[in-house]
Structure 1
Amino acid sequence: MVWYSVKPGLIPSLDVSLDKLSILLSDIDDIKAVYALKIGALLELDGLKKVISKIRDYTQIPIIIDHQKLADIPSIIKKVVEKIAAYDANGMILLGYVGPVSITTFIETCKDHGLASYIVAEMSHKGASEYIKEDTPLKIAKLAKDLNATGIVCPATKTESIQKCAAIIKGSSLGIMSPGHGPQGGGADSAVMAGADWIVVGRSFYNSPSPKQILINLGNVIINKWNDIQS
């Protein structure tokens, strides 16, 4: 089984300094619920190539690049994906609001370079959908399904959105990545019950005095909930 088809799982978000990585990644291979590690803009500022190399000192867990959600024109998206593919990353995230042409370019380029592709259908923070049409997340989910992306991103803070998007991609191999657990108000258990497969865990993980235990506990929660749904 290829790594990106494994469900369910946790995605620890590494929005920290390079110096703190050693604390967070120590013994992380022991936590079987971890699906992938997510690198965002804050850690990228330390130099993406150096960051990935540092992570590889500790683990071979797949790495998903969240490069400012890669919101750009198709030609730039193609170049960024090609460059990141050379850095030993395993997947990337794109903001779906950039439209169908950019989404298509992103997914096709990821496929060409062996990267998993995840499309943000809706973001998790308050006001994120203020200027977006109500059916936009559903259109993004349908296009991601039609183009055979790896998955879509729907917020744990909006379980109704997860349910609607899950209905759109039903019957396909796509999974749903869900951020917004913890400080933003979303719940990992309710997100999984709504249809999420992978839970992104950020501040409640890296700000905890016991980050490893957070992953173990949360991993048990989502695996049990996910198995209940499948049975």
Structure 2
Amino acid sequence: MFLDKPESHIMLALDTPNRKRSFEVLDETYDLIDAVKFNYPLILKEGLEIIREIKERYKLKVVADFKVADVPVTNNRIIELVKEVGVDVVMVHGFIGSDALLELKDIASNEIGIIIVTELTHPGGLEFTRNYSEKFAELCAFVDVYGIQAPGTRPDQVKKLREIVGPDKVIVSCGVGAQGGSFADAVDAGADFAIIGRAIYDAPSPREAVINFRKVKVEQ
């Protein structure tokens, strides 16, 4: 629907420092990955239009990992802005609540999928977000949005959250690669897409890095 059926199961986190490096990395990898994810730093530096350029040039599905987390009027404006540049999926925090999520879903219509962040992947994610991750997964099913983010650093949690949201929701898993999460373990636990950033774009050969990840999954 919003994302194509996974082939490589790899979503590239394009947390590169600038436009030049972004295009260099994608020139090497675009044909081996399923989608590309943007976070705030690159967009704050280069502007939203880089999303449109990359989508048109590489024909990739695009996820805006903006972790939307405000009152409905502000959230809705963010959705309208990313809709203009062709974003396919937006990641939002579950703690904004069901009313805000329902408004986002309405604004997004059938053009943008909503993914709820359940749990942050670093150690601090266990302090607060872990306490509510299952509730956020339940919220995904309750408001019937596209899917959830689950921590690739904790495959047991991915498996647990998959059981909650069921087989039809999309799960994307952050923290794979540089943060220590295993690509194969995250996918085997139920993630549709493993989000991989530094382990690819900081590698001497980003293309070779992607190929190696794909080999590991095939060998499992």
- Cα-to-partner distance string for 1:36-82 (whole Å, 9 max, x where unaligned): 10010111112433312431463010111112x11111111111101
Deviating runs (4+, > 6 A) in structure 1? Answer: none
For residue 23 of structure 1, what is the amino acid of its counterpart? E
Cα offset, 1:3, TM superposition = 5.2
- 1:148-180 deviation per Cα after TM superposition (whole angstroms, max 9, x unaligned): 222100011112211110111124x21210011
Cα distance in 2 between the residues matched to 1:29 and 1:203: 16
Deviations 1:1-52 (A, max 9, x none): x352513521101111112012101143431xx2210010111112433312
Residue 152 to residue 213, structure 1, CA distance change in 2 (3 Å): same
Report whether the alignment pairs 1:188 with 2:175: no
- What residue identity is the alignment partner of 1:12? L
Q: Where does residue 65 of structure 1 map in the other structure?
A: 64
Q: Please name the residue that 2:117 is paired with.
A: 120
Stretch of structure 1 that moved more, 118-127 or 5-14: 5-14
Aligned CA-pair RMSD: 2.0
> 92-101 or 10-19, which moves further after superposition?
92-101
**Alpha-carbon distance, 1:224 to partner:** 5.9
Task: Specify the alignment match of 1:12 in structure 2.
Answer: 12
The letter for the 1-side match of 2:156 is E
Shift in Å, 1:145: 1.8
* Deviation larger for 211-220 or 159-168: 211-220
1:129 aligns to 2:151 (yes or no): no
SS in 1 for 2:184: helix
Q: Which ranges of structure 2 fall in alignment gaps of 5 or more residues? A: none
**Structure 1 regions of 5+ residues with no counterpart?**
226-231
Moved more, 150-159 or 216-225: 216-225
Query: 1-side partners of 2:43 and 2:83: how far apart?
Result: 15
Change (3 A) 1:167 1:57: closer
Per-residue CA deviation, residues 173-193 of structure 1 (Å, 9 max, x unaligned), is: 212100111221211111122
Instruction: For residue 151 of structure 2, give the secondary structure of its aligned residue in structure 1.
Output: coil
Distance 1:223 1:86 in 2: 37
Identical amino acids, percent of aligned pairs? 25
2:25 aligned partner, one-letter code? L
Correspondence for 1:228: none
2:97 corresponds to = 99
Query: Contact 2:149 / 2:171 at 8 angstroms: preserved in 1?
Result: yes
